[in-house]
Chain A
Amino acid sequence: MTTDARTPNPHAALDDPSIFIEDVLRESIVEAVPVGRTERQAEFYTLRDGEMLLNMGPQHPSTHGVLRVVLKIDGERVVDIDPVIGYLHRGVEKLCENADYHQAICYTDPLEYVSSLFCEWAPVMAFEKLLDVTVPRRAEYIRVLATELNRVASHALTMGWFALDLGGLTPVLYSFIERDEIMEMLTALTGQKLLFNYMRIGGVNGDLNHEFMSRLGDWMSHAARHIEANQGLLNENEILVRRARGLGVLDEETALRMAVTGPNLRASGIPFDVRRAHPYSVFPELDFDIPTRREGDCLARYLLRIDEVKQSLRIIDQCLHQLPDGPVMARVPRLVRPRPGRAFAAVEGPRGLYAAYVISDGTDQPFRMRIHDPSFVHLQLVGLMTPGNLVADTMAIMASLDPVMGGVDK
């Protein structure tokens, strides 16, 4: 080991017994980003000795889309986490300001692309409030039917992804079987497979048809059995349960302070569901429960979504039995010019409260179209729940929160 006399050995402290090593280590704080940024950045990018920054994404098999997560880890434990989003920001709100009311619905589809009927429903409800349009009852029932089917498909995907992020490659194949069947149904109804473009101001695009009803009948006859089978595949699985139980616990007060809604909130014990708390459409006439769980951990969020799927099947069944006759679309002019005003409409999406706030200035284009997406808010929970856990638990927590990056990034 050659030591040049001119350049002193930087590791002299290790060899010299008179230097107390802990004092030296405490002072060896490394700034990875110049201080002078925001408080949180300064706090995050100040590394203590032994800590390391690990970058996950934006391309990563488990980040549910293009999410970049910077982890500050100490060995295998995550000390802090900084999600970076915006890799899918397509400027939907600005595009909607420069399009008509009818065209704006097409821009809102690809936001939460796994549940795109909800993404159309909230803005359409807001437009209908601005125009004082009454939607025919048959159209409302068809809307509820189609969106509950979409909710089942979305939860199937979530459950498959949850298992995939924990390492199980098989359940995602099963969930895609369910999902593809529902997608075929909705293709028969709407003409599209993923970005449905089915909701219109004043109703829906087309009535139910024979192919949709026959596929729906076939599916309903075995849906409950399939759910039980898929549940049996995963719920008792020791790996899943031991990894997910007790992980990422979210208590009630924190959930409310973080503006959490949807299954993440209900898994923490608060039975808030927009369909009951602020009923819209024909939900006052439908009979369903709001499943709630108390534990607030990843396993509770996962099991809650299965309960919600069962409730959705109940709702679909009631819709089929109570479906009234009538038109499927109200008479709305082609040139839509609402009076100046503001409207806020919220629906219960599979991820939480999905809302649209529309300001009209009297012209044929919305003045401001604001979309509130629940995944955007829930992604902040990752920074709250992950520190203290292992790196592999990051994926489990993210999967249980179920973000869809299209909605997060708008």
Chain B
Amino acid sequence: MAVSDRALDPVGGSGAPDDARAVSFTEAATDVVEAIVVPNTLWTPVDPAAYGPGTAGLNADITHLREFEASGAARRDDARWSGALEIVPTKADYLLDLIRANSLWPLLSGLACCAIEMMSTATSRNDIDRWGMFPFRASPRQADVLIVAGTLTTKMAEPLLRLWEEMPEPKWCVAMGDCTCSGGRFKRSYSTVEGIDRIMPVDVYVPGCPPRPEGLIFGMMKLQKLVVDRRGHWPDRKVGPTVPAGL
């Protein structure tokens, strides 16, 4: 396999502005996530009509999901009052947010060195079981908080975003460590994403390389306060670098 004669372009493009490399996920908040359709060639049902009218034909084209997402019904949190009552904070809201704040279950998403500090936070010496956060869930379906601990690389960006999308709402995101806040010491690298806020909305930034367990605990306490203060509404969640482009 011969290396071609054309100049080997660097990934970012030398001289291209920084946000040319940022993945354009700013529209992801309203767009429908494309279902990953894998044609089923391994198994065919004997009777194609046996599984309901929507599944006739074996190219699993889940069209009903698209309409469901477009109507906005999927974005509603069932535990909130709807319509005009949304702007009225109720005692039920307050209680629910207290419940959520005191039992935030993190997702095991330790990528690199900060994961060791996250584990250190979870173990006996700095114990976040005091705040109800000990169960680190392995499945995103059961988790509340995504504590991204460690450098995010371009190869890992897609799986991490999938994890975030798979988490059911209400969910929060904590960027732990310098690499997730801004790229950290690997900001110049060709294969890292400079901060996870380029691809997902972040609620709490915990700086440090790695942050001490006390720092992460402080960040989680801030998150608890945020959960209670926001009362479940997060209208200003933006995806994108917090530093203006060009800086």
Report A's interface with B, CB cutoff 8 A.
Answer: 1-2, 9-11, 30, 58-61, 65-66, 86-92, 94-95, 98, 106-107, 110, 113-114, 157, 172-173, 176-177, 179-180, 183, 193-195, 405-406, 409
Q: Chain B residues with Cβ under 8 A from A91's Cβ?
A: 186, 189-192
| Distance from A87 Cβ to chain B, minimum over Cβ atoms (Å) | 4
Q: Which of B46, B110, B186, B210 makes the CB contact (< 8 A) with A193? A: B210
Bound CA span A193–B209, Å: 9
Instruction: Identify 13 residue pairs between A and B in the complex whose beta-carbon atoms are under 8 Å apart, listed by A's number.
Output: A58-B156, A59-B108, A60-B138, A65-B110, A65-B111, A65-B115, A66-B150, A87-B155, A88-B111, A88-B153, A113-B116, A180-B125, A194-B113
Do the beta carbons of B151 and A88 come within 8 Å of each other? yes
One digit per residue, 1 when the CB lies within 8 angstroms of any chain A CB and 0 when it does not, for chain B 204-219 equals 0000011010000000
Q: Which of A86, A88, A180, A409 has the most CB of B within 10 A?
A: A88
Do the beta carbons of A90 and B209 come within 8 Å of each other? no
Q: What number of B residues sit within 8 Å (CB to CB) of A?
A: 41
* Chain B minimum-CB-distance residue to A60: B138
B247 in contact (CB, < 8 A):
no
Bound CA span A94–B133, Å: 39
Bound CA span A60–B111, Å: 10
Bound CA span A363–B130, Å: 54
| Distance from A152 Cβ to chain B, minimum over Cβ atoms (Å) | 15
Do the beta carbons of A9 and B186 come within 8 Å of each other? no
Bound CA span A19–B151, Å: 57
Q: Chain B residues with Cβ under 8 A from A1's Cβ?
A: 46-47
Q: Chain A residues with Cβ under 8 A from B156's Cβ?
A: 58, 66, 87-88
Do the beta carbons of B117 and A90 come within 8 Å of each other? no
Do the beta carbons of A106 and B185 come within 8 Å of each other? yes
B123 in contact (CB, < 8 A):
yes
Q: Which of B107, B120, B186, B210 makes the CB contact (< 8 A) with A176? A: B120
Q: Which of B42, B138, B209 makes the CB contact (< 8 A) with A195? A: B209
Q: Chain A residues with Cβ under 8 A from B210's Cβ?
A: 193-195
Do the beta carbons of B209 and A87 come within 8 Å of each other? no
Do the beta carbons of A177 and B124 come within 8 Å of each other? yes
Q: Chain A residues with Cβ under 8 A from B182's Cβ?
A: none
Report B's interface with A, CB cutoff 8 A.
Answer: 41-42, 44, 46-47, 49, 107-113, 115-117, 119-120, 123-125, 136, 138, 150-151, 153, 155-156, 159-160, 163, 185-186, 188-192, 209-210, 212
Bound CA span A11–B41, Å: 14
Report the 5 A-B pairs with minimum CB-CB distance, sorted nearest first.
Answer: A113-B113, A176-B123, A91-B189, A87-B156, A61-B138
Do the beta carbons of B112 and A113 come within 8 Å of each other? yes
| Distance from A92 Cβ to chain B, minimum over Cβ atoms (Å) | 8
Q: Chain B residues with Cβ under 8 A from A409's Cβ?
A: 153
Q: Chain B residues with Cβ under 8 A from A2's Cβ?
A: 47, 49
Q: Would A406 and B113 be within 8 Å (CB), given that A90-B189, A194-B210 are in contact?
A: yes
Other than the given A91-B186, A91-B191, 7 more pairs (CB < 8 A) read A59-B108, A66-B111, A87-B111, A90-B192, A176-B119, A194-B117, A406-B112
| Distance from A58 Cβ to chain B, minimum over Cβ atoms (Å) | 5
Bound CA span A295–B115, Å: 33
Q: Chain A residues with Cβ under 8 A from B138's Cβ?
A: 60-61
Do the beta carbons of A30 and B186 come within 8 Å of each other? no
| Distance from A391 Cβ to chain B, minimum over Cβ atoms (Å) | 15
Do the beta carbons of B159 and A58 come within 8 Å of each other? yes
Do the beta carbons of A61 and B111 come within 8 Å of each other? no
Do the beta carbons of B155 and A9 come within 8 Å of each other? no
Q: Chain B residues with Cβ under 8 A from A86's Cβ?
A: 153, 155
